[in-house]
Structure 1
């Protein structure tokens, strides 16, 4: 019969002590690592390393960049981890020209402010200058040089009719809006909503502010049937017909 080898408890104790010591050392290393990591994070959070270094403002055309930065309240002393995107977006969106704002953090030290402005629908002639009219009904306070990207609105001396015209232009397809050169408010006794348009293709249009965005949708198809170079006025109301000049 084979005799089993018996290991005494005295022989086991050193090995147990060594295993426990290794386990304790591993725990100590883990705890120290976590401790120093927390210290490093705290130091980083309190140091200039966590400050914003670059602020990029994108999408602006009619708003001054400094105005956006002022409303954001961000600067190179701001800790990037304290930036609350929602509150900044809300502050900037109070600007009358701004439709939407999106804030993005790009670590380690960059903030991107992406601005969407309200669409322009026309240039209103007032006080010997042209003022950009936006789809929300607001006009820029400083006169602008028209660039041909929106029609000129002339003789709109009544604010209420200008607002109605703005609403119609906002709902007009962009492709048709780009065809209009000038819009004159041309009220008559029987209809104060009457307007006269000069199109970029040389055709004049007699129409009305009322339901203008719906009525003008037929313009491209009718204009295509008019002989090129013909001088006349296209009446678009309940129906549509072209009156040729003699």
Structure 2
């Protein structure tokens, strides 16, 4: 019995040696692989591959690509792995022209900045210059000599509550009604500090108050459909809805109520 046990252990010794050798080889391979990975990492971080090589900007119309990159605080040559995308997004979103910003890292060394800008809703007239106005009431500093787009032109408005209220009202209107407005005048009265006067592209004039403008103006197409297109005048939306037709021969105007839809 003892002899059998001794033989059994001797037979197992070569297998144990092979197992130990295999484990030793595996450890050696792991150590060598780890060493090469560390060397590669050091080489990578010391090489131009770890620096921002290119920056792509999309979605910007109101601000130049160079302006967006400058606002992000990121530049070419910055360490790719030290960039904080969230911090760059916060910096960009401080700009009143930018609604949302998304910064993403594209391996190995590219950066992508996606911008969602505020909507341009109107132009503010100051003398012979026109300044774009965004949906949050921000008036851009870059003036143009003529309006290239079919957007309302605002007169006598100043940056502040009235302009903010006007932009909020315009933003809520359907596109077809927005496109039908040519000019809007801020014309406060003693009885209404929020009175406005609109001139439409179809030749009609609208008298309204910002208090109810967005609610009542949505009915403009239906109101106009009840009127003779050849008889122009003022559509009064301040209290109820009335139409006052112009009479060139007389200085007075006829008045008739309009049934709202």
Per the TM superposition, whether the score is higher than 0.5 is yes
State the alpha-carbon separation in 2 of the partners of residues 33 and 229 from structure 1. Answer: 87
Question: Which residue matches 2:99?
Answer: 99
- Report what 2:39 is aligned to: 39
Q: Which segment is superposed worse, 36-45 or 67-76?
A: 36-45
Look up the match of 2:77: 77
Shift of 1:190: 3.3
Equivalent residue, structure 1, for 2:252: none
Q: CA deviation at 1:166?
A: 3.0
User: Could you tell me which residue of structure 2 aligns to residue 52 of structure 1?
Assistant: 52
Counterparts of residues 6-45 of structure 1 (less than 5 Å): 7=7, 9-45=9-45
Within the alignment, does 1:237 sit opposite 2:260 as a pair? no
The alpha-carbon distance between structure 1 residues 128 and 159, as it changes in their structure 2 partners (threshold 3 A), is farther
TM-score normalised to the size of structure 1?
A: 0.87
Q: Which runs of 5+ in 1 are unaligned?
A: none
Deviation at 1:135, TM superposition (A): 1.7
Q: Tell me the secondary structure at the aligned position of residue 33 of structure 2.
A: helix
| Pairwise CA distance, 1:71 | 1.5
3-state SS, counterpart of residue 219 of structure 2: helix
Structure 1 residues 8 and 178: CA distance shift in structure 2, 3 A: same
In structure 1, what is the equivalent of residue 209 of structure 2? Answer: 208
Shift in CA distance, 178/72, structure 1 to aligned 2, threshold 3 Å: same
- In structure 2, how many angstroms separate the alpha carbons of the residues matched to 1:77 and 1:182? 49
Q: Pairwise CA RMSD of aligned residues?
A: 2.4
Instruction: Please report how far the alpha carbon of residue 10 of structure 1 lies from its aligned counterpart in structure 2 after TM superposition.
Output: 4.0
Q: TM-score, normalised by structure 2?
A: 0.83
**2:112, 2:202 → 1: CA distance?**
42
Which 10-residue stretch deviates more, 165-174 or 130-139?
A: 165-174
Instruction: Look up the match of 2:86.
Output: 86
- The offset of 1:85, in angstroms, is 0.9
Structure-2 separation of matches of 1:245 and 1:122: 28
Q: Distance in 2 between matches of 1:49 and 1:157?
A: 51
Q: Secondary structure at the match of 1:7?
A: helix
Determine the C-alpha separation between the residues in 2 that align with 1:225 and 1:75: 60
Number of corresponding residues: 243
What residue is the counterpart of 1:183 in the other structure?
Answer: 184
Q: Deviations over 1:79-100 (max 9, x none)?
A: 2222211100111111221111
Q: CA deviation at 1:178?
A: 2.4
Q: Quick one: distance in 1 between partners of 2:128 and 2:231?
A: 33
1:154 aligns with 2:145: no
Report the alpha carbon displacement of residue 160 of structure 1 after superposing the two structures with TM.
4.7
CA distance in structure 2 between the aligned counterparts of 1:158 and 1:14, rounded to whole angstroms: 90
Secondary structure of the structure 1 residue equivalent to 2:124:
strand
2:158 and 2:137 mapped to 1: Cα distance?
15
Deviation at 1:157, TM superposition (A): 6.0
Whether the aligned pair in 1 keeps the contact of 2:138 and 2:159 (CA below 8 Å) is no
Residues 191, 35 of structure 1: alpha-carbon distance in 2 compared, 3 angstrom cutoff: same
Do residues 168 (structure 1) and 169 (structure 2) align? yes
8 Å CA contact 2:196–2:208 kept in 1: the answer is yes
